[in-house]
Each structure stands twice: as C-alpha cells, then as structure tokens.
C-alpha cells in the first residue's frame, strides 16, 4: 500500500455501517447499540406514539436510570415528584415498547457510560448512540459513539439509524510516559487546553501514542469521555489486547469460539498503520503535570504549579474575563491553595473502580478537612459492590467521605446533590460551566479523582504528589 493510503477506524466503521446516501446528502448510518436513560427520552417515545411507530430493533436498545436518581435515599416514590414522574415515564415506555431496562432495583443499574462497557454491551467496530454528549466515552473500545438529541433518539428507536455527516479524523499522539500523580484526566484536560473547547469541531479524535497504548480501559474511557469538551463529537482508541482482555467474560460479550471470531473482527477495524489523517497533533506525556481548571469551560485549565493566566494571553480575552468574574479570583495568582467547600468524586468521567482506588489511596488513614463536604458516588451498582468488596467504602467513610449509591449526582445536579450559593467544588466530573453543579453562583474546579481526594483532605487545592511521597 502506498504511504498514507490506509483507512482509519472511523473510515472503516463509517463505510460498513452506511445504509445509503440520503437525498439531503447526509449518510444514513446504522446504529449498532442504543443506550437510553430517563432524561432525554420521554418526548422521543411520545413522538413514536404520535407517528404510530414501534422500535425497529428493540433488542439493540438498553435503558437505565442515572441522571436524576437520588444517591442517598432511593426509596420510591422519590421525594422529588418531578424525578418520580420522569422515572415512571421511562418505566412505562420501556415496558410498552419492549426495551431491556436496568432499573433502580437491578444490580446492573448505573451511569449509562459506565454500565455499557461494564456489561460488555459496548464493543469494538460498532456504532453506538445515546442521548447524552458523553457517549464519546464508549470510543475507548474502538466504537464510533455519538451523543444525540431527543429527535435523534426517536430516529434511532424508529429506524436503528441516523442521518449524519461524516467527520474528519484528527490523530492525537500522546508520547512518552506520565509521571506519578498524573492521570488520564490530566491528559485529556491538557489536550482540551491545547486544542480549545471548539478545536474538535468537525472532527473525531483518535487517541494513540505510548501513553494511551499503556492505559487501562478505564483510563481510556476517561480520555474519550471528554472528547466532546474539546468540541469533538466522537473520540476513540484503536482496539488492542487491553480491549479484548477487558471484554472477555463480560455478560454481553461473545463467548468461546464466538469470542475468537469477534477478536478477528475487532482487530480488523483498527486504523491501518498507514492510515491517512486530516490532522495530527503531538503531545508529550512527560510535560503533563496534575492539572486543574480555573474558569468556566474545561479548556480553561492550568498545571498545578502554574500561575493563573492573564486574560490577554487568550484569543478571547473577554471570555477569560467573564470566567474570572464568575470564579472571583485574580489572574497571575497561583491556583494552589484555593480553598474548597465541596469535594465530588464521581461522574461518567471518573467513577470507575480504578478512579475510586486512586482516590482511596490518598484518603486512606487521613481525614477530610473540617467544613468540607466530600462525597464519593460510584458509577454503577456493580462498581459500588466491587469497591465495597475490597473495603474502599470503609476507607472513605473513615476519612469522612460520604459513600453513596450509583448515579450522575453532582456532575449536573439533577438530583438532590447540589452546590449551594458560591461554594467551590473540587470535582472529578467533566464540566465547570456556570451553574453546572446546581447553584447559579457555584464554582467548579475539575481535576482527577486523586486530586479531589487530596483537596478534600487539605480543604484547598493541593498537588496530589505531596500525598504520594
């Protein structure tokens, strides 16, 4: 093959899933797996009823509840009548339309982007859609995974397909190694900082290089999860032995000889060594330090030892000024030492077992600073059970963290877990948007789960490496 004539994973999956080119010029793309939750689906089912349509492939849609569920008292009916009503709407819809549902009483319940991989539903070489922008998470498996709106949820239900436009592909090589105390979260925050929150517009991001190849599946999920924060509709990692080993034995993964045939297919979808990319970006892993956000979007991030940047350093100084106005701190000062009121470990970005282990390692034998409200919200019922089996819940509880039931929780504060007033939250979630954590004046500082644990113990933003010595 000639140089750079090969195909990317994106090209291959796009081609094999193309149904036809529509009169509009869009591609009708087959969607292999559809995940739904309570928030973005009720009107989609209403639209199906209005149009008199049924679900085309009901066995390819799976449902759970995550966004709205309380993480302390889960008894029904929920205290929040709206949450109860929305949950009942989903329960009614999945029953009426014949969709498999992992409800609150199921040991498979959890954040939709945690349970898909955990159950082996998410597989390489698939297209996957879900009415949630962090669907990019599933790209960690070499899956083309798209976040969609409610009208598109309706289309997937009715036709198992979407009208889409093809994206370009940007390869992001993270070379070298990461220092101790530097995590997958720091890698993706640095990528977004460098390329910008709109830098990925029109692109799918393909993550590779030595750092990504060495990552566990959970770390790859953290990276792919935040692709959308960089403006990329999808992000993925080519499937490899790490991917196959993760999937082997999972409930919905193929078994025995079927698994071997699956591996052959999964290997075939990886980007060719001579694949042609629309853009290539190089990032040195050794230059990444523990990273935190200082502003109101995930691209406004700094290394922990850096000073807060001046608005004039940005292409959009007005945007930086608005961020400072909301956050209430001064350019040129260190972020280190900023006091925190709340510490949140959870979300589809960082609520998996390895995240909880990393945080527990910091918390073990120490105490949350007086006055700090700290909570740990496992990503799924299964993650919670596994963590409890190895005693992580006791480590957290002894340190003064609240140990909760699975859900999205304070990432977007649709349940009772919310910031109050001007509280500052050290958060392992994915968005530091104004008002995101439930208080219009609330302030979010994004970081890795280990950094959140360190902030909870210190009552301020610290360098987690101090705790790893």
Partner 1 sequence: MSADTKIVKVTGRAVAVRGNDIDTDRIIPARYLKEVTFARMGEYPFFDERFDAAGKPRPHPLNDPKHKGASILFVNRNFGCGSSREHAPQALYRFGIHAIVGESFAGIFAGNCVMMGVPTVTLGSAEIEELMRLAESRPQTVFSLDLEAKSLSFGERQVRFDIPGTYRNALISGSWDSTAMLHANLDKVRKVAVRLPYMTAFRG
Instruction: Specify the stretch interacting with partner 1 by CB under 8 A; choose among 194-202, 357-365, 377-385, 390-398.
Output: 194-202
194 binds partner 1 (CB under 8 A): no
Token couple for 105 = 């009483």
Candidate list 147, 181, 346, 407; residue touching partner 1; CB under 8 A? 147
Q: Closest separation between CB of residue 454 and partner 1, Å?
A: 27
Beta strands in 329-447 (DSSP E): 342-345, 373-376, 402-403, 424-427, 443-446
Site string for partner 1, 407-446 (x = CB under 8 A): -----xxx----------------x-xxxx-x-x------
Q: For partner 1, which is the closer residue by CB, 110 or 438?
A: 438
Q: Is 291 in the site for partner 1 (CB under 8 A)?
A: no
* Binding status of residue 54 toward partner 1 by CB under 8 A: no
List the one residue out of 380, 366, 294 whose CA is nearest residue 334. Answer: 294
How many CA atoms lie within 13 Å of 162's alpha carbon, on the beta-carbon side? 25
Output 325 or 469, the one with its CB closest to partner 1: 325
> Exposed, middle or buried, 175 (CB in 10 Å: 0-12/13-18/19+)?
middle
CA distance 158 to 371: 51
Nearest to 162 by CA among 29, 24, 16: 29
Extract the runs of DSSP E, i.e. beta strands, from 195-352: 203-208, 234-237, 279-284, 291-293, 301-303, 342-345
- The CB-of-135 to partner 1 minimum distance in angstroms stands at 8
Cβ of residue 401: shortest distance to partner 1, in angstroms?
24
Contact with partner 1 (CB under 8 A): which of 107, 241, 251, 258? Answer: 258
* Position 46 contacts partner 1 (CB under 8 A): yes
Q: Would you give the binding string for partner 1 spanning residues 293-332, x where CB under 8 A is met?
A: ----x------------------x-xx--x----------
Residue 168 binding partner 1, by CB under 8 A: no
- When the beta carbons of 57 and 97 are compared against partner 1, the nearer one is 57
CA atoms of 327 and 174, how far apart (whole Å): 31
36 Cα distance to chain centroid: 15
Region 349-388 residues binding partner 1, contact defined as CB under 8 A: none
| Contact between residue 430 and residue 229 where contact means Cβ atoms under 8 Å apart | yes
* Token pair listed for 242: 């790490």
């Amino acid at each position: 093959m000639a140089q750079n004539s090969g195909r990317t994973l994106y090209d291959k999956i796009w081609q094999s899933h193309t149904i036809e080119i529509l009169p509009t010029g869009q591609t009708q793309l087959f969607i292999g797996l559809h995940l739904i939750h309570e928030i973005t689906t009720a009107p989609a089912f209403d639209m199906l009823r209005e149009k008199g349509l049924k679900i085309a492939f009901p066995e390819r849609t799976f449902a759970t509840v995550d966004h709205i569920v309380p993480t302390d008292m889960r008894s029904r009916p929920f205290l929040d009548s709206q949450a109860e009503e929305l949950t009942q709407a989903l329960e009614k819809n999945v029953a009426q339309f014949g969709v498999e549902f992992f409800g609150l009483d199921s040991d498979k319940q959890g954040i939709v982007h945690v349970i898909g991989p955990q159950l082996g539903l998410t597989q390489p070489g698939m297209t996957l859609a879900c009415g949630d922008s962090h669907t990019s998470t599933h790209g960690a498996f070499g899956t083309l995974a798209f976040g969609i709106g409610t009208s598109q949820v309706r289309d997937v239900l009715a036709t198992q397909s979407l009208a889409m436009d093809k994206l370009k592909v940007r390869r992001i090589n993270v070379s070298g190694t990461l220092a101790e105390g530097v995590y997958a979260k720091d890698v993706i925050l640095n990528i977004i900082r460098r390329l910008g929150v709109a830098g990925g517009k029109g692109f799918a991001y393909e993550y590779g290089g030595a750092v990504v190849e060495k990552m566990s599946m959970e770390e790859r999920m953290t990276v792919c999860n935040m692709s959308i924060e960089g403006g990329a509709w999808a992000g993925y990692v080519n499937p490899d032995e790490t991917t196959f080993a993760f999937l082997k034995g999972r409930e919905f993964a193929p078994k025995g000889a079927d698994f071997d045939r699956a591996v052959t297919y999964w290997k075939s979808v990886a980007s060719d060594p001579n694949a042609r990319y629309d853009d290539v970006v190089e990032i040195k892993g050794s230059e990444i330090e523990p990273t935190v956000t200082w502003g109101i979007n995930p691209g406004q991030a700094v290394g922990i030892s850096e000073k807060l940047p001046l608005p004039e350093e940005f292409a959009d100084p007005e945007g930086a000024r608005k961020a400072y106005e909301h956050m209430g701190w001064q350019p040129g000062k260190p972020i280190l030492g900023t006091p925190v009121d709340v510490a949140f470990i959870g979300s589809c970005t960082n609520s998996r077992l390895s995240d909880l282990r990393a945080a527990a390692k910091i918390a073990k034998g120490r105490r949350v600073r007086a006055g700090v409200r700290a909570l740990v919200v496992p990503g799924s019922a299964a993650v919670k059970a596994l963590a409890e089996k190895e005693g992580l819940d006791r480590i957290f509880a002894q340190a003064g963290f609240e140990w909760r039931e699975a859900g999205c929780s304070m990432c977007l504060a649709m349940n009772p877990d919310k910031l109050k007033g001007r509280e500052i939250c050290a958060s392992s979630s994915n968005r530091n948007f104004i008002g995101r954590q439930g208080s219009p004046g609330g302030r979010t500082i994004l970081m890795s789960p280990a950094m959140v644990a360190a902030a909870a113990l210190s009552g301020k933003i610290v360098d987690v490496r101090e705790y790893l010595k």
